[in-house]
Structure 1
Amino acid sequence: MKEKYCISTLFLGCLLVQFDSSVFAQDSPWGYRCDGDTSKCIKEEATDPLIQTSFAQCKLTCNPYGVLWPKPTSVSLDDQVVPFLPSNVTSAVVAPPNVASLLDEAIAIFIDNLHKNYPKYSQDMTPRAGPYKSAANNHILHLDITVTNSDDRLSLHTDESYSLALATNGDVSTATIHSPTYFGARHALETLSQFTEYDEPLHALLIITSATIEDSPVFPYRGVLLDTARNFVQITDIERTLDAMSANKLNTFHWHITDTHSFPVYLTSRPEMTHYGAYSSREIYYAREIMHIVEYGRIRGIRVLPEYDAPAHVGNGFQWGPKEGLGDIAVCVNKEPWASYCVEPPCGQLNLANPKMYDVLGEIYSEFVNFFGPIDLFHFGGDEVNLNCWNTTEEIVNWMIENDFGLSEDSYYDQWGVFQARALQLLTTANGDQKVPGILWTSHLTEAGRIEKYLPSDDYIIQIWTEETDPIIGELLDKNYRVIFSNYDHWYLDCGFGAWVGEGNNWCSPYKGWQTVYDNNPIEIASRYSTTFDPALILGGEAALWTEQADGEALDSRLWPRCAALGERLWGNPAHNWVLAESRFIHHRQRMVRRGIQADRIQPQWCHQNEGLCYA
């Protein structure tokens, strides 16, 4: 049967193309056999097409973990499947009212993901004639979900565990989900969606007939950082990033929303910030958009963590101070030669000598709390302060002398420490006097001999962005600091491209492949430096995409599927390396693409269909 389909194009309107569905009604000459020794699907010519195992069925049932990503803590999967259609889903929910409404949203996303796994041409076709057609049309997938806790906001203490039992009786497959919290139940729905695959010969989805899973994450913090200040990223691109994160059970979107380059956040109290600091009137985030992203993430099991980086990494957006009678809120803004005053152009740091600076900082925090609240964490940034900016600014030098602070290097570090203490208090005040942990990047202030003086371990979490060989890792853990790993030698995703200042490659080259991302084990790294640390101090990790050379057009390919490798590392912290994960990883990349994520190709499709033959 030949049918016509409309493909929307930007300039040509509707382009009619012809699709011959009869081609797919023919039996494929190929079948798949599960090799029990290697858990790989072996492609071979089918001797009897009527009893051949399809690629979809083999992938679902051959590996002990099926095609699940990240792999669960404990799993038992059946080797039988049944066909069904994504429209045949029913549900029953037992949960507190606020959680029940969230679960309605999560179930809708689950069903939408089933449809995305079911190609468009198949939605316009009935399942293959014969007993399969009747079975697929009549089969029901029923969701029975119970959540006991009313907690609907993620924190470092949220229980994200869940149990999932799938059983098939006649024409009904029942998925029974139990979780203490909404977030665990949401994770269970993601896992359940991965029990299904589209079977091309049958023109239907297949689902495993029975399975039992007990699952929970190793680390409570599993993050992705996106910088939207160096280059603006549209809200729709951020939504797609959150969709992909939810597919990988990553739970923290770290929004590095401002920097020296631009201030794209519209503040009601200080509209001058975007007037001077946004790249254009079209590249601004308004309160309603930020709040939308916070809620969009919450439904998908993700906290949206704001970062207001200071006292360095500020500049453009602050030029209005003198005109408003407040003096210079920031100094060294766009100062040249930039290499003398900052690590990359343009320069800028807050003016420690101007008390009005703290008034403005408090206003910024108040609006951030309103945008992102209620908050359980806040990121202060706090790295890459260049003392040469402060000690060459006449106003600051005179202020240091007049107050008998001195002009030594340590004197400036003292005032940096005073700034950080005041910043924490300003945030606490803005947050209704509720103190939350502050996150800081490793910096000169976190070094041995300084950190305990300026940064109490009860108040701060330290995010490690230096190399895995940095001895500060052991010192932080031995001093009882909670840490988040983002060591750039494994988890900086902007590395490995041409330099954007000068020539050659950028500073953190080479490129970090998914294998490098996967094999970065925080517990293993920490164990090299300390044998007495409390593993609970390692909250987790985060991959970072700094956007000097990326924007929305490059976003998906920079993040995915490498952040999927991060997802499995931080969910289960597997004892093995990337090799045992490769076949599931390649398949999961395909699944993300079907969901609309433009993830990079890892291998030719031939390798996907001929497992184990693309080896080094």
Structure 2
Amino acid sequence: MWRHNSFYYVLHLLLALQCVNTAEESPAWQWACDDGKCIKSKHNPQSSEPALSLEACKMFCNEYGVLWPAPTGVTDLGRFLSKININNIELQIMKRGKSDDMMRSAGRRFRYLAKLAVPYGRSPKHAGKSVDVYVHNRNPDVTEFTPTDTDESYSLRISPDTNQRINATVIANNFFGIRHGLETLSQLIVFDDIKDHLLIARDVSIDDKPAYPYRGILLDTARNYYSLESILSTIDAMAAVKLNTFHWHITDSQSFPFQSTKRPHLTKYGAYSPSKVYTKENIREVVNYAIKRGIRVLPEFDAPAHVGEGWQDTDLTVCFNAQPWQSFCVEPPCGQLNPIKDELYDYLEDIYSDMAEVFPTDIFHMGGDEVSEKCWNTSTEIQQFMKQNRWDLDNAGFLDLWNYFQTKAQDRVYKAFGKKLPLIMWTSTLTNYVHVDKYLNKDDYIIQVWTTGSDPQVKGLLQKGYKLIMSNYDALYFDCGFGAWVGSGNNWCSPYIGWQKVYENSPKVMAQEYYEQIIGGEAALWSEQSDSVTLDGRLWPRAAALAERLWAEPASGWQDAERRMLHTRERLVRMGIKAESIEPEWCYQNDGNCYA
């Protein structure tokens, strides 16, 4: 048990003294904390003790209250809730710099989230204390993420200043820590639906930082198009749970919706329609929106496989839309770049340059998954090229061909971005730990694992010294568990993955003694069977489970997080996120009664 039950009785009395109001209608129900659970009971109107609301009870009924993700350092949520006036919340920036615009944006978001604590249709009383939020940014000129070493730590203190004011102070080493601190502060504000008061936790002390620097969501916008509004909404939800990387898988063999100004015919002939294109203005809007919410946007151009639409007239592909497609790729339409064409690398440099113009990133994803030897082997000119280089037409020979492509493409990435930046590739035959160091330098590449968490490749790559991002499909592919779209039955990675399995998917457990080489994890939503309409339900609240795993790497299991997860889902819904329901609301109101 976190604290002795007598503490909650004292808390109840202190809260009651602060929230007492006369001449109000007696409520039907009240809640009291008992052994870490908020217990519902009928309120006795003859009682001299005012009723405690559900959310006020939940704030103090376990170590982390309603916070998500759980803080990793010292956490003291105090023992008081103070009434506050929603109209008297002021944010003061104590040190100015280049991040001022981002800081002001974070302040506006904080005020917005504070207002969302009030349920729709309710009006909080304007009586209550003013809240002064002081933000101390030690390095206010820092405005950009770096791949693995951006400091996202923060400290938060909430204390009474005078009888009419509450002082909340957030201290961090840069904007990104400040933003996280404000996000946590917004979660410490709840609505008392019995008294119609907005309440804030008082005497709070939190020191917090993430366990992993990379905490992401991949969205594939090529199989199906996603509206700009749905992408921005996803970024808002990511910020609410402190995820920090939006991995944009923006092109694939089915469509090329990325606006390439240097090679406009790729977009013209590759997009589903002129209205389903991500223009440079669109992308800049997403990037700017994301960074103000503490999120980097990571572009991916997947190659040499997963290309097709838009490339038809370039003479730079092999086996595009070849039939029967099952012989050449894993889903239609097939298509791979032809690595022996010198002109191809000029195309790639132009695409990379277009991306560098709109994605101010210090990390780049080169794809590299599901390359088919059979596809390349359909080309007699590729066969001749391989023979000239004394490469056999076998697995080893095609790996040499792939490495030929990867080396030349890597040079063009560096040239386009004007610097040497870390590169990411999916696990594949090229990254097999047996020979990966022959092809990919561990100082240049981060490997993103999409196979199972128990795949021997994980340990093998770690032993070779490679850094990994975990996206193991058995826990982190959120498109799994639906009807098949090629063939019958369910799709290939069924069954559906519940939030509990996502929560239990621990990189530390998978990596064991090599866990410091895991830079983080990422949930992937491949979009063959999803679009803007289904997006929220596919991601949320499951992505929130990932967020706590990667932020806190908790030693406890999902059972200890279940009550906070229910609250987090409710908070996302208040933000306008159509998160799937995971339990009846009765379970939210009756802690501990729905799981054995």
Q: How does 1:491-530 map to 2 (within 5 A)?
A: 491-527=476-512
Shift of 1:366: 0.3
Match of 2:43?
A: 46
Aligned residues: 568
SS at match of 1:423: helix
Match of 1:98?
A: 98
SS at match of 2:533: helix
Match of 1:280?
A: 273
Shift of 1:25: 6.5
What is the alpha-carbon distance in structure 1 between the residues aligned to residue 212 and residue 342 of structure 2? 40
Match of 1:466?
A: 451
Shift of 1:96: 3.8
Match of 1:366?
A: 353
Match of 2:324?
A: 337
Match of 2:587?
A: 607
- In the superposition, the TM-score normalised over structure 2's length comes to 0.93
Match of 2:26?
A: 27
The reply to whether residue 408 of structure 1 matches residue 394 of structure 2 is yes
**Residues 144-177 of structure 1, C-alpha deviations (whole Å, 9 max, x = no match):** 1111112111121111000000002311111111
Asked if 2 retains the 8 angstrom alpha-carbon contact of 1:96 and 1:148, the reply is no
Amino acid at match of 1:386: S
**Residues 82-140 of structure 1, C-alpha deviations (whole Å, 9 max, x = no match):** 222322111211234212221101000110111222234234xx62xxxxx63x2xx11
**Residues 434-470 of structure 1, C-alpha deviations (whole Å, 9 max, x = no match):** 1111000000001133211100000000001111121
The reply to whether residue 62 of structure 1 matches residue 49 of structure 2 is no
Shift of 1:403: 4.3
The reply to whether residue 384 of structure 1 matches residue 374 of structure 2 is no
SS at match of 2:99: helix
Asked if 2 retains the 8 angstrom alpha-carbon contact of 1:78 and 1:211, the reply is yes
Amino acid at match of 2:413: L
Task: Please list every run of 5 or more consecutive structure 2 residues that lacks an aligned counterpart in the other structure.
Answer: 1-22
**Residues 65-96 of structure 1, C-alpha deviations (whole Å, 9 max, x = no match):** 11000010121012221222322111211234
What is the alpha-carbon distance in structure 1 between the residues aligned to residue 509 and residue 152 of structure 2? 24
Shift of 1:568: 0.3
What is the alpha-carbon distance in structure 1 between the residues aligned to residue 60 and residue 440 of structure 2? 51
What is the alpha-carbon distance in structure 2 between the residues aligned to residue 181 and residue 580 of structure 1? 32
Asked if 1 retains the 8 angstrom alpha-carbon contact of 2:339 and 2:404, the reply is no
Asked if 2 retains the 8 angstrom alpha-carbon contact of 1:276 and 1:320, the reply is no
Match of 1:166?
A: 158
Shift of 1:487: 0.6
The reply to whether residue 440 of structure 1 matches residue 431 of structure 2 is no
Shift of 1:406: 3.6
After superposing the two structures, state which structure 1 stretch, 214-223 or 194-203, moved more: 194-203
SS at match of 2:534: helix
Shift of 1:404: 3.9
Asked if 1 retains the 8 angstrom alpha-carbon contact of 2:319 and 2:378, the reply is no
Match of 1:312?
A: 305
SS at match of 1:552: coil
SS at match of 1:144: strand
What is the alpha-carbon distance in structure 2 between the residues aligned to residue 122 and residue 586 of structure 1? 21
Amino acid at match of 1:66: G
Asked if 1 retains the 8 angstrom alpha-carbon contact of 2:433 and 2:464, the reply is no
Question: Equivalent of 2:539, from 559, 581, 584?
Answer: 559
Match of 2:7?
A: none
**Residues 366-401 of structure 1, C-alpha deviations (whole Å, 9 max, x = no match):** 00111101x111000101000000011123223323
Q: How does 1:209-228 map to 2 (within 5 A)?
A: 209-228=202-221
Amino acid at match of 1:163: S
The reply to whether residue 290 of structure 1 matches residue 276 of structure 2 is no
What is the alpha-carbon distance in structure 2 between the residues aligned to residue 281 and residue 342 of structure 1? 28
Asked if 2 retains the 8 angstrom alpha-carbon contact of 1:27 and 1:49, the reply is no
The reply to whether residue 482 of structure 1 matches residue 472 of structure 2 is no
The reply to whether residue 347 of structure 1 matches residue 325 of structure 2 is no
**Residues 3-61 of structure 1, C-alpha deviations (whole Å, 9 max, x = no match):** xxxxxxxxxxxxxxxxxxxxx973321101111x2x11000111237611111211112
The reply to whether residue 426 of structure 1 matches residue 412 of structure 2 is yes
- In the superposition, the TM-score normalised over structure 1's length comes to 0.90
What is the alpha-carbon distance in structure 1 between the residues aligned to residue 433 and residue 523 of structure 2? 25
Amino acid at match of 1:116: L
What is the alpha-carbon distance in structure 1 between the residues aligned to residue 545 and residue 392 of structure 2? 49
The reply to whether residue 179 of structure 1 matches residue 172 of structure 2 is yes
Question: Equivalent of 1:242, from 235, 259, 263?
Answer: 235
Q: How does 1:77-116 map to 2 (within 5 A)?
A: 77-116=77-116
Task: Please list every run of 5 or more consecutive structure 1 residues that lacks an aligned counterpart in the other structure.
Answer: 1-23, 128-132, 322-327
Shift of 1:199: 1.5
Amino acid at match of 1:503: S
Match of 2:554?
A: 574
What is the alpha-carbon distance in structure 2 between the residues aligned to residue 305 and residue 79 of structure 1? 42
Asked if 1 retains the 8 angstrom alpha-carbon contact of 2:80 and 2:201, the reply is yes
Asked if 1 retains the 8 angstrom alpha-carbon contact of 2:214 and 2:520, the reply is yes
Asked if 2 retains the 8 angstrom alpha-carbon contact of 1:272 and 1:320, the reply is no
Instruction: Quote the RMSD (CA, aligned, Å).
Output: 1.4
What is the alpha-carbon distance in structure 1 between the residues aligned to residue 483 and residue 394 of structure 2? 38
What is the alpha-carbon distance in structure 2 between the residues aligned to residue 62 and residue 440 of structure 1? 44
